[in-house]
Every structure is written in C-alpha cells, then in structure tokens.
Amino acid sequence: MTETIPSANELAAKEMATNIPEFTVSELSGALRRTVETSFDHVRVRGEISGFKRHSSGHLYFSLKDSEAVLDAVCWKGQAARLGLAPEDGMEVIAVGRLTTYPGRSKYQMVVERMELAGQGALLKLLEDRRRKLAAEGLFDQGRKRPLPYLPTVIGIVTSPTGAVIRDILHRLAERFPRRVILWPVAVQGEGAAAQIAAAITGFNALPADGAIPRPDLLIVARGGGSIEDLWAFNEEIVVRAAAASAIPLISAVGHETDTTLIDFASDLRAPTPTAAAEKAVPVRADLVAWIAEVGGRLAASLTRGLAERSARVEALARALPQPRTVIEDCWRRLDDRADRLRLALPNLLERRQREWERLSTGLDHAIKLAVQAEKGRQEKSHLRLEQVGGRLQPAMQRLLADQTRAVAQTGKLLDSYSYRSVLARGFAVLRDETGQPVQSAQAVEPGAALAVELKDGTVAVKAEGTPPAKPAAPKKPGSSDGRQGSLL
C-alpha cells in the first residue's frame, strides 16, 4: 500500500483553516448590518423610481435604478408625510437616507428620509408629459370654458387661511365691490395638499342652491409665489380634473405672473396674481356707479331731445293742416247739395219704376196670350195623335185575341190526347178502391172489398170475391242452395 506524503503548502493551508473563527448565520448577518450602517449612515442616491407601492400601513416601498443596477428602498410612514412630493414610477429623484440590511432575506436596502426631484429639467419633463396627457383628453379645450358672471353674489375661495393671499383678495374685493366671500381652507403645499384642493372644488359644486350655505357664483383657487416644487400640488391630476369638472366658473391665481401650473389650463380664466383674480371677479363699484350716472344722464338728454323733436314735428304738421272752420263749411255745403239731390231723386226713381212696371206688364200679357195659344195647339195635337193611336189599337187587339184563342184550342186538344179518358173510350176501365185511388195490383185487393169501376160513360160499384192470389216467390240469390244437394263438409 502506497501512502502519499502532504506537501508543505497543503500543511500550511490546513493549519490556517483551523485558525479561522466560525460564525453563525445570525452573527454574520449582524456583523454585515453594523458594517453597512456604519459605513453608509448618510447617503444621497440619484435614480429613477420603479415598482412604487404605497402600503395600507402608510409605508412606501419602491426601487431606485439606473442603467446598470437596482437598489431597494423604503420610506417609513413618518418620513413619507414630510417628503413634499408624491413619488410615482418613472420619476427621477435624489433620495437622502441611510443603508441597512434585511437579514431575513440577505438583502440590503435604503431607508429614505428625504426626497427631491433630480434637477429642474426632470421635473419640467414630468410636467410636460402630464400636460400632454390631459390635453389629449380634452380637459384644456377652449370650448369647455365658461364666461364669468358680471357681478357674482357669492364668491368661493380655495386657499390657505393663514397666508397673505386671502387678506389680499378680501382687501381688493372690499375696495372694488364688496361681495359675500366663503373660504374653504386647504393646505397649498406638501403631502395631501392636492387632495384637499380637489375636495374643496368638488365640495363647493356640491352645495345646494337654496341651502344654509349658499352656493358660490364664482370660485377662486389661489396661492402665493414659490418654486416649482412648492406649486406642484396644483399640477396634480386630481386638482386639474376637479377644476375641469367644476360647474361653477373658476379663476386660477397660483403664484406670480411668470408661474404656470396645469390648473391654469383647466380653469375658465387665469389671473397672474391673487390680487388680479379679485379684480377680474368684480367690477369697480365707483366706476359702475359713475357709468350708471353717465348712462342715466345720456338717457335723460335723449328723452329731452326726443320730446323736443316730436313737439316741433307736431307744430309743423299743425301748420300744414287746413283750418277746421273751412273744413266744416265745406262739409256743410256738400251736405246741402246731397240733400237737394236726394229730394229730387225720389220722385225720379218712382217715375222710372212706374214706366218699367208698365213695360213689363204689357210684355207679360202678350207672353200669356202666346202661352195659351201654344197650350191649345199642343192639346189639339195630342187629341189627334190619341185618336190615331186608338184607331190602330182596336184591330191589333182583335188580332191578338184571335191568336190567343187558337193557341188555347190547340193546347186543349193536346191535353185531351194525353188524358186517360181517351183510353176509356176505346173500351178500357179504371179500378179504384174506397179512397178513390187507382188499384194497380191484384195482391192489394182484399176479398169483400168495395171497388169502383170507371168506364167511358160512368162508374159502376163492384165487390171483390174469392181468395187473393199468392204472392210471387222472391227471386233466389246467387249461390243459394235449394236443399237438394248435400254439403261436402
């Protein structure tokens, strides 16, 4: 048996392995965690958010990634409420926090304490993408925008109750035209600000017109100036959609004149500042009073000029009209003339009617005479025609009677030839029973029956004697047997 002798290197490695301390899994995980947390207790990491998830507990879970690596991250509920922005997938951010490990899965992750967008360019890109998306849905169309009321009775304001914005708006309204104002206090920056602003717009629209709190005629959503991060709540979709769906006309006054947010595109009117929003909401009362006074003066002057022009026109028409006495005198003269003509017209009319009557009477007598003569002529002609017709009618009647007599005689001869009496004249007789019916068979006569024999010149009574003859046997049916041939069966 051959035995291999270990080399010097193998002996050294074996001695070294026996000197390395042994760790349990928990000990090694704890050592790694302490090392990582000590070496990376405060880091700033730039990356793109991926797989974002908000847990029901309020914690945020997501990943930060770049083109080559992925880092798991978590933001606990306390820090999530103070982030200042709403994380979402695709957003490039700079996260500030610390690294730690998760021994249960042999993973390491970053605990995020603060977060900010990675530069102005990334934020503007996100804003532009969102603007294009909402514009494609038609939320920014000009056809959706409604005109503002000229003088609203109630104005609803959505803003912070503690900032200078509400004071500026109230002061400007009091200077121009005091109106009733209803403030819906909201947070205009930070976590939850967008949800509060959207809820305020929706809440104002939900107020009944005749409720205890009157429904505003106009809404103003306002905030002071700030960075794009400070104004980000007014770029959130929930706020833009609430503004676009508002049935109450809405003025957006967010930031300074150079600031632009997405709610400005969805509102019915954009004001560069909150003070300008108050100016656009109501007119200047003094200017309105002055304008009404000016219009009233112009109306009074117009009425005065109109009355003067109409008075002058009436005077001109009066001068053009004739004198009433002259008109009346002309009417009197025409009336006298008509009266004279009327007195002469009645006798003339009666005379004309008399002449017409006489003419008609003469013509009527002549017409009557002609009619009588014509009627006499017609009667004479009718009598003559009647005599002629009567002369022709008598011979015709005689010929008709002769023809009918010959036809009756011929028919009688024919009937006599068909009668049985002509047979009796040749020596035959008819035998009748007691009822007078002809006897046609000898079997029908019973012995002793009274009968009558009708001859050519009269009837003789007779009495039947003897026995009635036997009835003839019924004819045999085919195939019947007379009993003389026996049966084969």
Q: Where are the alpha helices (DSSP H) in 419-451?
A: 421-424
127, 129, 134, 137: CA torsion to nearest 10: 170
Helix axes 120-136, 237-245, angle to 10 degrees: 30
Segment 245-272, tens digit of pLDDT:
999 999 999 988 878 889 999 999 999 9
Closest C-alpha to 200, from 219, 181, 213:
219
Which tokens belong to 166? Answer: 């509400």
For the segment 325-335, the average pLDDT, to the nearest whole number, is 82
Task: Please report which confidence band the pLDDT of residue 280 belongs to, taking 50, 70 and 90 as the band edges.
Answer: very high
At residue 32, does pLDDT exceed 70? yes
Report the mean per-residue pLDDT for the chain.
Answer: 82
Backbone phi, then psi, for 355, in 5-degree steps?
A: -60, -40
The confidence score (pLDDT) of residue 189 equals 86
- Indicate the range of 141-155, 186-200, 388-402 predicted with least confidence: 388-402
DSSP 443: G
- Indicate the range of 136-140, 357-361, 452-456 predicted with least confidence: 452-456
Residues 6+ apart with CB under 8 A from 287: none
- Indicate the range of 113-117, 131-135, 195-199 predicted with least confidence: 113-117
- Integer angstrom CA distances of residue 279 from 46, 74, 171, 417: 45, 47, 11, 140
The confidence score (pLDDT) of residue 478 equals 55
The confidence score (pLDDT) of residue 18 equals 58
All structural domains of the chain, each given as residue ranges with its CATH number in brackets, are 16-118 (2.40.50.140), 149-286 (3.40.50.261)
Beta strand 218-223 with 250-254 is parallel
At residue 203, does pLDDT exceed 90? yes
The confidence score (pLDDT) of residue 489 equals 36
The confidence score (pLDDT) of residue 1 equals 44
Q: Which residue has the higher pLDDT, 452 or 63?
A: 63
Contact 447, 466 (CB under 8 A): yes
The SS3 call for residue 286 is helix
Q: Write b or e for each residue in 447-483: b if 16 or more Cβ atoms lie within 10 A of its Cβ, otherwise e.
A: eeeeeeebeeeeeeeeebeeeeeeeeeeeeeeeeeee
For the segment 131-136, the average pLDDT, to the nearest whole number, is 90
Segment 305-325, tens digit of pLDDT:
999 999 888 888 877 777 777
At residue 436, does pLDDT exceed 80? no
Integer Cα distance of 153 and 234 in angstroms: 27
The confidence score (pLDDT) of residue 105 equals 75
Residues 6+ apart with CB under 8 A from 459: 452, 453
Backbone phi, then psi, for 377, in 5-degree steps?
A: -60, -40
Task: Please report which confidence band the pLDDT of residue 23 belongs to, taking 50, 70 and 90 as the band edges.
Answer: confident
Integer Cα distance of 51 and 89 in angstroms: 7
Contact 269, 295 (CB under 8 A): no
Category of 232 on φ-ψ map: left (φ > 0), alpha (ψ -120 to 50) or beta: alpha
DSSP string spanning 56-77? TTS-EEEEEE-SS-EEEEEE-H
- Integer angstrom CA distances of residue 139 from 146, 241, 246, 252: 13, 7, 11, 15
- Indicate the range of 87-96, 217-226, 438-447, 473-482 predicted with least confidence: 473-482
